[in-house]
Amino acid sequence: MKKLSKDDFLNLRRNPEIIPGIHNYCDRWCEKCPKTSHCSVFITEEAFNEINSKEPDASENPFALMENMFEITQSLIEDMAEKHVFDLSGITEDVSVQAENEFEQARNHPLSRKGNDYFKAVDVLLKGNGNYFAETAERQLMIFGEREESKLLTLKESFETIRWYCTLLAAKLHRAMGTYLDDDIDEEFTRDELFGTLKVSFIATQRSMVAWAKVLEYFPDKEDTILPLLVTLEQIYKTIIITFPQTITYKRPGLDD
C-alpha cells in the first residue's frame, strides 16, 4: 500500500479550483455531488486511489486513507508546534476527559436525541420490513411489468435517500449541538460550524421527508409505522427553524450560491 506524502498533500491543496471548507457542511454523498472538482477531500481521495490502483493489497485496509491523513495531520501539527515553540506533551489527558464530557452533553441535547431516535427507528423499520418491501415491489413488477419500472426506480432512490440521511442526520445534529453547547457562539468560526452543520441537517430532514412520503405512497398499508417517523422529522425541522432561524439563510461555502 502506498501513501501520500506531506508534500503531495500540500500540493493537492494548492489547486486553485478548491473551495475551502466545502466538505465541512456537505452531505458526504460524493457519488451524487456536482462539486467534486472543488473539494479537497474528494481530490485527495482520488489521488490516494490513483497511486494505489495497481497495488495488490489496496482493498485490504478500508481505513488506509484515514490513517494516511492522520499521519500527515499529525506531522503538520508538529511542524506548527515547532514553528511557534509550543509544547504538545501532557495535554492529551486533559483534552480527552474534556472531550468525553462534551460528547455526553451534546448527546443529551433534545435535538441530538431526536436525531438518534430517528436513526434507531429507521433501522428497526427497515430491518423488520425489508423483505416485505422487496417482495411487494417484485410482485407489482410481475403484475404490471414495464409500467411499474419508473415507480420502482423512484422507490429505490427513496430508500437510498432514507438510508443515507438517517445516519448523517444523527451525526450532524450531535456535532451541531456539541458546537452550540461548548463553543463561543460569537466567534465567526463557531457560527459557521453551527449553522453550516445545521443547514446540512435541515436539508437531510427535508429530503428524508420527501423520500418517506414517496415510500408511503407506495406502501399506504405501512402508514402506522411511517407516520411516526415523519412526525419526528417534522419536529427536528421545526426545532431548527424556530430555535436556530439563521440556519435557513446561512450559505455554506460553494454549496448554497
Specify the residue, 24 or 105, whose C-beta has the smaller distance to ligand SF4.
24
Distance CA 151, CA 70 (A): 44
Specify the residue, 69 or 121, whose C-beta has the smaller distance to ligand SF4.
69
Distance CA 104, CA 113 (A): 11
H/E run at residue 252: none
Supply the minimum distance, in Å, between the C-beta of residue 229 and ligand SF4.
25
Supply the minimum distance, in Å, between the C-beta of residue 36 and ligand SF4.
4
Specify the residue, 125 or 170, whose C-beta has the smaller distance to ligand SF4.
170
Distance CA 157, CA 46 (A): 26
Cβ count near 68 (within 10 Å) = 20
Supply the minimum distance, in Å, between the C-beta of residue 46 and ligand SF4.
10
Specify the residue, 30 or 181, whose C-beta has the smaller distance to ligand SF4.
30
Residues that bind ligand SF4 (CB under 6 A): 22-23, 26, 28-30, 33, 35-36, 39, 41-42
Is residue 72 a contact partner of residue 4, using CB atoms and an 8 Å limit? yes
Supply the minimum distance, in Å, between the C-beta of residue 66 and ligand SF4.
14
Is residue 204 a contact partner of residue 174, using CB atoms and an 8 Å limit? no
